[in-house]
Chains A and B, each alone.
Chain A
Amino acid sequence: MNLVVSFLADPAYFAITVGSLVIATMLLLASRNKQLSVTSRVFLIYAHIALLIVPVAFFAYSSGCMIPAYDCNVKTLLYSLPFIIGGAVVAAGVIGYFALPQLYRRRFSAKELKNAELRKFVSAHARRMRLRTPSLFLLDTATPVAFSFSSYKPAIFLSLGMFDVLSKKEIESVVLHELGHIKHRSPLMKFSTKLVKLVSPVALFVPMQSNLSHEECYADAFAVKVQGTAKYVTSARQKIEDFYAFQG
């Protein structure tokens, strides 16, 4: 505690700490602006995290072996702290971008979805949207679930429960919803929002839920636009909500 007090007693370090926190908070608030593109908003989130590391880095370099009763192991640890935090965030980003679909595939023992008609549907729409055709995976659960990844190799996961309760057109609306997410890079937004909530104390005081609900609305609107009717998106959503309501 004395370490922190003596660090903040220095006017220069105090200014750096307060300045970084203020700018970081402003960046996080700006990242909630729906008018900005997802890429810009995600950039603001990571800039927020980077700025939070700045005072930690200064704190580490200002202390070290100069403090009585602290040996060089503590110094090494403090020196490493900004790199550990920064490295963890970068590693999470890299793993998320390259490996997340495969990790999910293994975690849920998902199999490749062998449905020629649906694969054709997905690849035709992906081509039209100038996207890499996403891989389709099937989850062995009766609960209707669908999610996607817009990473290096995009992927859409659908559960068997979806096919049990939804009609063909409703399944197509779900797939279009997920393609909308991929096009809009919603999974990146969701991942970054969850990551910032995990690592940033400032994010605890900034409501970020609207980031996620906005992405859902966008994906629904996209599916409605392509299908030319809201009928199937609405009925699919209703059936899925009914399932969860009855499940309790």
Chain B
Amino acid sequence: MKEAARFDELLSPLEADVLRVLWPDKQLKVRQIYDALKHKRKVALSSVAVILDRLHEKNIVSRNVETARGGMRYIYFPKHDKKEFEKTVVESAVNKLIDAFGPTAVSYFNERFGKK
């Protein structure tokens, strides 16, 4: 429940796009993510950096510091793969409904999914 609660808020379109870039490649720098996104949509490098920092604060992505010849950079990678992430979001939404409506929500789920 606690893990799921971290994904309470829905992702913004840019957050979702950034995650879609990160999922297959796993570990990328801000500039690499920007390079992958700039052909698909109008976006600034600074905006990508803000989004990644936001996703890091939401505990959706992690980051390490990489020391390279040109200096130090953050390397970002997702905490969960796409399936795990989606599962956690669904779990969070279901838990929220149960918290809010209690037995009504549970009996609805039984009715709705019991038929199948």
Q: Which of B46, B52, B74 contacts A239 (CB 8 A)?
A: B46
Q: Which of B31, B49, B73, B74 contacts A243 (CB 8 A)?
A: B49
Q: How far is the CB of A191 from chain B (nearest CB, A)?
A: 28
What is the interface residue range for chain B against chain A?
20 to 34
Is A86 positioned at the interface, with any CB of B under 8 Å from its CB? no
What is the interface residue range for chain A against chain B?
20 to 34
Cα A246 to Cα B14 with chains together (Å):
12
Chain B proximity mask over A156-183: 1 for CB below 8 Å, otherwise 0? 0000110111001001000000000000
Chain B residues near A161: list those with CB within 8 A.
Answer: 49, 53
Most buried by B among A117, A140, A161, A171: A161
Q: Would B67 and A114 count as touching, CB distance under 8 A?
A: yes
Q: Would B53 and A160 count as touching, CB distance under 8 A?
A: no
Chain A residues near B71: list those with CB within 8 A.
Answer: 115, 117-118, 163, 168, 171
Cα A59 to Cα B66 with chains together (Å):
61
Q: Which of A160, A242, A243, A246 contacts B72 (CB 8 A)?
A: A160
Q: Which of B30, B50, B73 contacts A246 (CB 8 A)?
A: B50
Which of chain A's residues has its CB closest to B51's CB? A246
Chain B residues near A168: list those with CB within 8 A.
Answer: 70-71
With contacts A144-B49, A161-B49 known, what are 5 further pairs, Cβ within 8 A? A160-B74, A163-B72, A165-B30, A171-B71, A246-B44
A-B contact pairs, 28 of them (CB 8 A): A114-B67, A114-B72, A115-B72, A117-B69, A117-B70, A118-B71, A138-B72, A140-B65, A142-B56, A142-B74, A143-B53, A160-B65, A160-B74, A163-B73, A164-B29, A164-B49, A164-B73, A165-B45, A165-B49, A168-B70, A242-B44, A242-B46, A242-B47, A243-B46, A243-B49, A246-B47, A246-B50, A247-B50
Cα A142 to Cα B53 with chains together (Å):
6
Is A113 positioned at the interface, with any CB of B under 8 Å from its CB? yes
Q: How far is the CB of A157 from chain B (nearest CB, A)?
A: 13
Contacting residues of chain A (91-149) with chain B, CB-CB under 8 angstroms: 113-115, 117-118, 138, 140, 142-144
Cα A143 to Cα B29 with chains together (Å):
15
Q: Would A113 and B45 count as touching, CB distance under 8 A?
A: no
Cα A163 to Cα B66 with chains together (Å):
11
Chain A residues near B45: list those with CB within 8 A.
Answer: 165, 239
Chain A residues near B73: list those with CB within 8 A.
Answer: 160, 163-164
Chain B residues near A113: list those with CB within 8 A.
Answer: 72
Contacting residues of chain B (51-85) with chain A, CB-CB under 8 angstroms: 52-53, 56, 65, 67, 69-74
Which of chain A's residues has its CB closest to B56's CB? A142
Which of chain B's residues has its CB closest to A142's CB? B53
Which of chain B's residues has its CB closest to A248's CB? B50
Q: How far is the CB of B72 from chain A (nearest CB, A)?
A: 6
Chain B residues near A160: list those with CB within 8 A.
Answer: 65, 72-74
